[in-house]
Amino acid sequence: SQQGEEDPQALSIQEGENATMNCSYKTSINNLQWYRQNSGRGLVHLILIRSNEREKHSGRLRVTLDTSKKSSSLLITASRAADTASYFCATEDNAGNMLTFGGGTRLMVKP
């Protein structure tokens, strides 16, 4: 079963705009990770945020984590056409279970 659920399922924006994707999960976690998947390719790790962290940055990416709401958001600033991909959140719970992935958000950035 999927632990994380992304919202929205699909997002279409213009190049230069910001893209925000949300992830909700159900159980207590050790960490939450975001991955990107280009069409026909494997998943690529973007960022890991631990349960005791609230915000993390990596380049144009900003991830927040609210453990009280069991939710996370991924913000991509100044989007580019090359950011077009599916984005997945994955949670590692503190019951020893491995990464569980959500259904993903399909992002399209139009040039």
Partner 1 sequence: DAGVIQSPRHEVTEMGQEVTLRCKPISGHDYLFWYRQTMMRGLELLIYFNNNVPIDDSGMPEDRFSAKMPNASFSTLKIQPSEPRDSAVYFCASSLAVSNTEAFFGQGTRLTVV
Q: Are 7 and 89 in contact (CB under 8 A)?
A: no
Among the listed ranges 14-22, 28-36, 62-70, 74-82, the one in contact with partner 1 (CB under 8 A) is: 28-36
Among the listed ranges 11-19, 27-35, 54-62, 69-77, the one in contact with partner 1 (CB under 8 A) is: 27-35
Q: Are 64 and 54 in contact (CB under 8 A)?
A: yes
Length of the chain in terms of residues written = 111
Q: Which of 16, 17, 44, 54 binds partner 1 (CB under 8 A)?
A: 44
Among the listed ranges 16-24, 33-41, 54-62, 63-71, the one in contact with partner 1 (CB under 8 A) is: 33-41
Q: How far apart are CA 39 and CA 96, in angstroms?
A: 31
Q: How many CB atoms lie within 10 A of CB 91?
A: 27
What track of x and - describes contact with partner 1 for positions 71 through 100 (by CB under 8 A)? Answer: -----------------x---x-----xxx
Kindly state whether residue 64 participates in binding partner 1, applying the rule CB under 8 A: no
Kindly state whether residue 50 participates in binding partner 1, applying the rule CB under 8 A: yes
Q: How far apart are CA 82 and CA 108, in angstroms?
A: 9
SS3 82: helix
Smaller CB separation from partner 1, 13 or 108? 108
Q: How far apart are CA 57 and CA 50, in angstroms?
A: 13
Q: Which of 20, 22, 24, 31 binds partner 1 (CB under 8 A)?
A: 31
